[in-house]
Amino acid sequence: MNVHEHQAKELLGSYGVPVPPGAVAYAPHQAVAGAAELGGERWVVKAQIHAGGRGKAGGVRVAGSLEEVGEIAADLLGSRLVTAQTGPGGALVGRVLVEPAAEIARELYLGLVVDRGAQRVSLIASTAGGVEVEESGAELVRETVDPALGLRDFQCRKAAAALGLSGPQLRPAVALMRSLYRCFVETDALQAEINPLAVTADGKLVALDAKLSFDDNAVARRPTIAALRDLDEEDPKEIDASEHGLNYIALDGDVGCIVNGAGLAMATMDAIALHGARPANFLDVGGGATPEKVSNAFRIVLTDPNVKTILVNIFAGINRCDWIAEGIVSASRELDIDVPIVARLAGTNVEEGRRILAESGLALTAAENLDEAAAAAVSSLEVAA
Ligand code: GDP
Ligand code: MN
């Protein structure tokens, strides 16, 4: 789960990471009032969307007067901001963050990631912060954290030295890194990124941008994090699926997939690709899929207008093929399904499941195995085209 920059800053600030004061606005007059209250003569107005690359796309702008704050806010709010990270459709800007403009001397990069190679959390630092860090990747320092010990002072000092932070900047830098790490661990974050971590003209460190993303599987035990969720930033199909206990991720192909088990879902997507087509989604109905769950899966997959055919692939261990079959039959009665369906059922109660499908009178193709199912789904696309 991702959150907005202003939420990430508030959270990091509560852990002691220095962040600028700011005001969130949903309308231009709120942005102006916020800027007036913050005081100063120059402000930055920042589009709040769950994607980076805003600076280069015109989503982060400096205003030299309150009037200009209002103009920029009016321009951004309600617009779709297209950045290198949003995809061509862009993201709707529903709120902006107004901050007093900082005078930047240097832009650094500081991040924490779950380092899969090391199977630990790693601290990453670079002097090439700002909008270019993805491309440059220059001078990366990586410190891997022992979870039993936490991030150690010597590791912070090493990273600080690499960032050229010494003398009076050393202690604040170490404290900032420790605060960042504590926030990361205590919120079950998967990624934390401060880019830029600015050194201001008067030598202070401040997190000018902040990105936090959290482990979806841990949000349930973190009510303060769960409260930060912005459903406007998520795919409605994915929200619908999560409300029905389905694990759905929208993709951009045209073969709808209904599968049980994440591994089998991945294999199914691979098989579709192997036969020359692309999956429209990842969908794991999970174990113990009831007919209702299967029916919801069909409904959600079919709300994607790109879906031209549906491939059902069930290997029932905990699941029961007869329930899956009942789900398919009831879905096709409730929903107006006008795309071909290919179903491959195997495992528990498979004979009963196949009988239900055969006797349903539904025009679906039954397949014996995954390869056959993927081939049939892909060739049904070609027939339709
Ligand atoms: P991103 O492009 O989505 O990562 O958005 P950022 O919040 O990182 O802003 C992009 C760039 O805008 C930063 O790298 C800075 O160069 C600039 N910027 C952001 N805040 C300020 C500020 O307060 N003062 C100045 N002068 N520049 C800023
Ligand atoms: Mn940034």
| Residue owning the nearest CA to atom 9 of ligand 1 | 55
Same domain, 222 and 369: no
- Read off the pLDDT band of 132 (50, 70, 90): low
Same domain, 129 and 43: no
Strands of the 43-47 sheet, one edge to the other: 23-25, 96-100, 43-47, 60-63
43-73 pLDDT tens trace? 999 999 999 999 999 999 999 999 999 999 9
Q: Please state the domain count of the chain.
A: 3
Q: Which atom of ligand 1 is nearest to the CA of 104?
A: 26
- Give the count of alpha carbons within 13 A of 318, CB side only: 8
Nearest ligand 1 atom to the CA of 54 is: 3
Do 224 and 203 reside in the same domain of the chain? yes
Residue 353 domain boundaries? 235-384
| Look-up of token digits 């796309």 | 57
Which of left, alpha, beta for 300 (phi over 0: left; psi -120 to 50: alpha)? alpha
DSSP helix/strand/coil, 191: strand
Q: Hey, is 263 helix, strand or coil? A: helix
| Angle CA 324–327–333, to nearest 5 | 150
pLDDT of residue 140: 80
Highest mean pLDDT (candidates 49-53, 139-143, 318-322) = 49-53
In 3D space, the residue among 345, 378, 138, 383 whose CA is nearest the CA of residue 256 turns out to be: 378
Computed over its alpha carbons, how large is the radius of gyration of the chain? 25
Is the domain of 296 the same as that of 183?
no
pTM score of the predicted model? 0.81
- CA 259 → CA 2, 263, 298, 315, 370, distances in Å? 26, 9, 11, 8, 11
Give the integer Cα–Cα distance in Å for 32 and 317.
60
Pocket of ligand 1 (CB under 6 A): 44, 46, 52-55, 60, 99, 101-102, 104, 107, 130-131, 195-196, 208-209
Q: What number of residues does the chain have?
A: 385
Are 8 and 75 found together in one domain? no
Ligand 1 mutation pick, 104, 191, 193, 204, max ligand atoms within 8 A of CB: 104
Q: Are residues 33 and 11 in the same domain?
A: no
Among 49, 79, 101, residue at a domain's last position: 101
User: Hey, how many other C-beta atoms are within 10 angstroms of the C-beta on 29?
Assistant: 12
What would the pLDDT profile of 207-234 be if each residue is shown by its tens digit? 999 999 999 999 999 999 999 999 888 8
Ligand located closest to 195 CA = 2
List the CATH number of the domain containing 211: 3.30.470.20
Where among 207, 233, 259 does a domain terminate? 233
Are 5 and 26 found together in one domain?
no
Instruction: Assign 335 a pLDDT band (cuts: 50, 70, 90).
Output: confident
Final residue belonging to a domain, choices 218, 233, 248: 233
Answer yes or no: do 149 and 12 share one domain: yes
Residues 185, 275, single domain; the answer is no
Ligand 1 center to 140 CA (angstroms): 20
Q: Are residues 169 and 291 in the same domain?
A: no
Q: Are 342 and 255 in contact (CB under 8 A)?
A: no
Examine the domain organization and report whether 204 and 258 are in the same domain: no
Q: What is the CATH number of the domain that holds 286?
A: 3.40.50.261
Spatial strand order in the sheet of 255-259: 247-250, 281-284, 255-259, 309-316, 341-347, 364-367
114 and 37 part of one domain: no
